[in-house]
Amino acid sequence: MAKDPVSELIGGGVRTRTPFTSLLNRFLYKFKLPWKVVKNEELPHVMCSVEQRINFSHLVDQVLAYGVVGDLVELGCYEGQTAALIQMVNVRHQARPFHVYDAFVADWNTRSGTVQERLKRRFAAAGLPGPIMHEGDMRHTLPAELPERIAFAHFDCGMGDDPERHRDLLLHCLEHVYPRLSPGAIAVFMDYHDPDRTVNGLNSNPGVRMACDGFLADRPERMEVLYGNDFSHGYFRKR
């Protein structure tokens, strides 16, 4: 039986358990040991959790269902795991232009083909039209290649490097994207972590909160955290 494309994009490529690992984890849990066993082959290079994908699906659907003006953008797309999900929701409505921005040079796995080729294959396998790709350093492609109005923006431009460098890049993106966000537009930030409000998620890129909280300090919007299980993310809605 063919896999349902919706469930595959939301639930595909996630951690699975074998009877052996489940038994070990029950043992660890019983004795209150703070570990969990996951076999290496059970982690096929997952970039976001199922919970995060569900959040993306609902948030994109909101701006489209309520007619928020503008295109969809993703800043930092890598192989397109979240981009394909965003496009899947987009085509359910009257599909709008969807732009992705990436240097397409970082590569964290050994699968065949370039990052761009794997992104294109992912979209083709899901039967989705490809996004408008903007290749290059976002310090150069923004703002010239941004659409005039934006209804949804996903920021995932971290490289796991120095938090201040990450903050500076994200601030550059925010400074150019924010004025183009329509009223009611949603901006989602991967790795936004607030230790007082985030449940379970890791603070893997502290530069995200540094940039978001600083940028919004004198603006009416405020960040809201989203439950992402092992990962962290948050969003704001443009007023």
153-184, pLDDT tens digit by residue? 999 997 767 899 999 999 999 999 999 999 99
Residue 53 CB contacts under 8 Å (≥ 6 apart), including other chains: 9, 10, 11, 82, 85
Residues 138, 117 share a domain: yes
Residues 159, 86 share a domain: yes
Q: What is the average pLDDT across 132-157?
A: 97
Q: How far apart are CA 64 and CA 56, in angstroms?
A: 12
Nearest to 94 by CA among 124, 72, 123, 125: 72
pLDDT at residue 15, as a whole number: 43
Nearest to 101 by CA among 119, 121, 89: 119
Residues 179, 196 share a domain: yes
Count of structural domains within the chain: 2
The number of C-alpha atoms within 13 Å of 205 and in the hemisphere containing its C-beta is 24
pLDDT at residue 194, as a whole number: 96
Residues 113, 31 share a domain: no
Q: How confident is the model at residue 42 (pLDDT cuts 50, 70, 90)?
A: very low
Residues 66, 165 share a domain: yes
pLDDT at residue 40, as a whole number: 38
Q: Are 18 and 39 in contact (CB under 8 A)?
A: yes
Q: Are 6 and 126 in contact (CB under 8 A)?
A: no
Q: What is the value of pTM for the model shown?
A: 0.83
Q: How far apart are CA 159 and CA 42, in angstroms?
A: 23
Domain span at residue 81?
50-237
Residues 92, 56 share a domain: yes
Residues 154, 93 share a domain: yes
Q: Which helix (H) or strand (E) holds 94?
A: none
